[in-house]
Amino acid sequence: MSQDKKKTLSRLLTSSLLLHGLEAFAIPVKKSFDIDKIGTQESIFPFLAGAGPYFSYPENYGIPIEPPNKCELKQIQLIARHGERYPTTSKGAKLLSLWKSLQQYPKSFNGSLSFLNDYQFFIENEDVLEMETTIDNSVNAINPYTGEMDAKKHAREFLSLYEDLLDEKKEFAVFAASSERVHDTAQFFIDSLGSRYNVSLQTISEEPSSGANTLSAGYSCPAWDEDQYSNITEKYSTQYLIDIASRLNFENKGLNITANQANMLFTWCAYELNARGYSDMCNIFTREELIHYSYQDDLTSYYQDGPGYPLIRAVGSNLFNASVKLLQESEHLDQRVWLSFTHDTDILNYLTTVGLFDNGKKLDPSYVPFRDLIFHKSWIIPQGARVYTQKFQCENNTYVRYVVNDAVIPIESCSDGPGFSCEANNFYQYAEETMANMNFFQACNTSSVSNITDLTFYWDWKMTNYNATLLKE
């Protein structure tokens, strides 16, 4: 192993053991060579469609995420995705079916699939599907990429930057969508803040009947049709999947893997990383194939959940409008830190409305736009994604800016403040223009599922005490 790989491995394992505790030593490592593989596949995380472990936003101009010199933080908002997880029930069923099919192959595997000759599938039972990966359910005790570790590490990083905004004497709320894995992420985060703080975890319903009073507005949007632009997304060539299947079948006569099954191998790769810390399946792909897979996912998300679907800006406005209101009222609110946990699609909808990753150029299904592509879905919402809104004061003026996955992402039309921030009044004007003539409740036909027209949980949580039933989804 090279010295660089040894240093990476040492860093990952040290963090894992410190955050997970010595209990990690009680569970045996499955194979002696597991350790050598952990930390060697991080370069492919950005190509895994947001299904693999967390990574920092790659295009970072090096703008410090700390407040600029002589500036004081006034408010912090966080909208974060749940941590690394196992596949959903539907994808898990497809993976299990594929694994069973491979087990029936009567010969020894050759070529890039030869690792399957001595292999333990990473989904040990169906109970883990949909769930956060933890030290208890991970198939490798020294896996540094569990959702549990990610959330706890994130909390410690949060404290290093924003601890001064927390008041040890006052109760403050953390908000989580009612998915069990989202709730677990929020709880792991809270636990790692330590016992000094009086935290109330508010569980916000994802049911359509919640209407606008939700972190997951998409569930309350009957008008949303994810196939609206399938005529565009289906034009992207899947020849790369045919090539993968052909290569594997050539190496293993009689295997007969299909292009659809080849597509599932990317899913296998990503979720095994979450559960094991490495995946030999990831090594079967060329860089060209990873690029095609990643862009096809960008294209699909762009037209289903992002800027390519006009309705999405209305969906995201539900949360963006609440965020702007919190910023405007910051001087009058007891709470200066607003922490929310939800799903990837909710964050993508929100950022679509904010407009950080939309240059107005529609994604083209006929080629990969290497120079002009700013909508990298996996860069924006990997597992454990975190979007911070910072409001700080410098002398007599206040400013707003965004930090996405450890990188300052300026609003290009309003970034002349300290640290490429936007002066607060200009930001409010930007937000007003962005959401002009936009009404989530009307655009989504939400009245057909709910009569709740406003998002109120940030303001009425003490009186209401939100405690929605957890959903395993």
- Asked whether residue 125 is assigned to any structural domain, the reply reads yes
Query: What is the three-class DSSP state of 416?
Result: coil
**Looking at residues 17-42, what average pLDDT do you find?**
60
Q: Which DSSP symbol is given to 135?
A: T
Residue 20 pLDDT greater than 60, yes or no = no
**Looking at residues 232-255, what average pLDDT do you find?**
98
Residue 30 pLDDT greater than 90, yes or no = no
In the residue annotation, 344 being an active-site residue is answered as: yes
Per the structure, the count of domains in the chain is 1
Residue 244 pLDDT greater than 60, yes or no = yes
- For the stretch 77-115, pLDDT in tens is 999 999 999 999 999 999 999 999 999 999 999 999 999
In sequence order, what E strands does 192-319 have? 198-204
User: What percentage of residues in the chain have a pLDDT greater than 90?
Assistant: 90
- Asked whether residue 389 is assigned to any structural domain, the reply reads yes
Please report the pLDDT score of residue 14 as a whole number: 52
Q: Do 394 and 70 meet the contact criterion of CB atoms below 8 Å apart?
A: yes
Please report the pLDDT score of residue 170 as a whole number: 84
Q: Which of 82, 292, 343, 376 is catalytic?
A: 82
- In whole numbers, what is the pLDDT of the chain averaged over residues? 94
- Asked whether residue 153 is assigned to any structural domain, the reply reads yes
Residue 23 pLDDT greater than 60, yes or no = no
**Looking at residues 227-252, what average pLDDT do you find?**
98
- Asked whether residue 451 is assigned to any structural domain, the reply reads yes
Please report the pLDDT score of residue 16 as a whole number: 54
- For the stretch 324-383, pLDDT in tens is 999 999 999 989 999 999 999 999 999 999 999 999 999 999 999 999 999 999 999 999
CATH of the domain at 291: 3.40.50.1240
Residue 32 pLDDT greater than 70, yes or no = no
pTM of this structure: 0.93
- Asked whether residue 197 is assigned to any structural domain, the reply reads yes
- The amino acid occupying position 79 is I
Residue in this structure with the two tokens 């997304």, named with its chain if needed? 233
- Asked whether residue 18 is assigned to any structural domain, the reply reads no
Please report the pLDDT score of residue 13 as a whole number: 53
Per-residue pLDDT band for 18 (boundaries 50, 70, 90) equals low
CA distance 82 to 163: 22
User: What percentage of residues in the chain have a pLDDT greater than 70?
Assistant: 93
Residue 28 pLDDT greater than 70, yes or no = no
Question: Domain range for residue 85?
Answer: 41-464
**Looking at residues 259-282, what average pLDDT do you find?**
98
Q: Which of 150, 298, 305, 344 is catalytic?
A: 344
Per-residue pLDDT band for 272 (boundaries 50, 70, 90) equals very high
- Residues in CB range of 451: below 8 A, 6 or more apart: 211
- Asked whether residue 213 is assigned to any structural domain, the reply reads yes
Q: Do 83 and 192 meet the contact criterion of CB atoms below 8 Å apart?
A: no
- For the stretch 133-182, pLDDT in tens is 999 999 998 999 999 999 999 999 999 999 999 987 788 999 999 999 99
Q: Of 29-38, 292-301, 420-429, which range is least confident?
A: 29-38
Nearest to 137 by CA among 267, 145, 146: 146
- Asked whether residue 28 is assigned to any structural domain, the reply reads no
